[in-house]
A and B are shown apart, each in its own frame.
Chain A
Amino acid sequence: MTSLLWGSATAILLMAFVCLWRADAGPTVLDRILAVNVAGTKTLVVLVLLATIAGHAFLIDVAIVYGLLNFVITLAATRFIESGRLVRDEPAPSEAAP
């Protein structure tokens, strides 16, 4: 069972590197953000796999923090790209349209 878990962790890491290829080659900024988000989700799964293999329970907490950061960072970056500002009350810069 442990070798199966190691094998799946290796496979998921290889998929994360493939996602990083998209982050390098993506034609728009949104492609890069999406690729980094997907690679972050795969890293989270690898962290929980390592917690199960090695028996370190604190790695699950690290994975939870990783997931929350991934979520908030993606939402903030897409909102900034969409409207050129981060807070609703902040006046948008006039030349903001990217």
Chain B
Amino acid sequence: MSALLSVASVALLLVGLVFLAGGTLGLVRLPDVFARAHAASKCDSVGAGSILLALALQGGLVFGDLKVVLLVLLILVSAPTTAHALARAGFRTGITPWSKAERGDP
């Protein structure tokens, strides 16, 4: 059981690292604030969430891990809300979304 928990923890940690790297790559490479918010919010919620779940599995099941699960829930609520607020602010202040017709940075 303990070996199973360890394997699951390491797998979740590696998945989270891959997703965080993808989110950072999207934040650097994508052409628009909307595209960047999209990439960063999704990859950050999955990446940070799975890394925190891996750490919660790591310590056995004690009280501090309940706080980590609470932190995962907070991230799962806050990342989409933040991305929505950013995209709405960008749209209402008149940033035109990047399109393929006009290549280059807006």
**Residues in A lying within 8 Å of B, measured CB to CB:** 1, 4, 8, 11-12, 15, 18-19, 21-22, 26-28, 30-31, 33-35, 37-38, 41-42, 44-45, 48-49, 51-52, 57, 60-61, 63-64, 67-68, 70-71, 74-75, 78-79, 81-83, 97-98
B contacts with A: majority SS? helix
User: What total of A-B pairs shows CB separation below 8 Å?
Assistant: 122
CB distance B86 to A78 under 8 Å?
Answer: yes
Report the minimal beta-carbon distance from B89 to chain A, rounded to whole angstroms: 4
Residue of B whose beta carbon sits closest to that of A68: B74
Within 8 A of A (CB), among B84-106: 85-86, 88-90, 92-93, 95, 105-106
19 contacts between A and B (CB under 8 A): A8-B17, A12-B20, A28-B33, A28-B90, A30-B33, A30-B90, A30-B95, A37-B82, A44-B48, A45-B48, A48-B52, A48-B71, A49-B55, A52-B55, A57-B64, A60-B71, A64-B74, A67-B78, A81-B93
- Given that A60-B67, A71-B81 are known contacts, is A45 also in contact with B52, CB under 8 Å in the complex? yes
Option from B70, B79, B81, B86 in Cβ contact (under 8 Å) with A30: B86
> B24 to nearest A CB, angstroms?
4
Using Cβ atoms and an 8 Å threshold, which residues of chain A touch B86? 30, 33-34, 74, 78
Min C-beta distance of A13 to chain B, whole Å: 11
Asked whether, in the complex, the Cβ of A70 is within 8 Å of the Cβ of B70, the reply is: no
Find chain B residues with CB under 8 A from A83 CB. 92
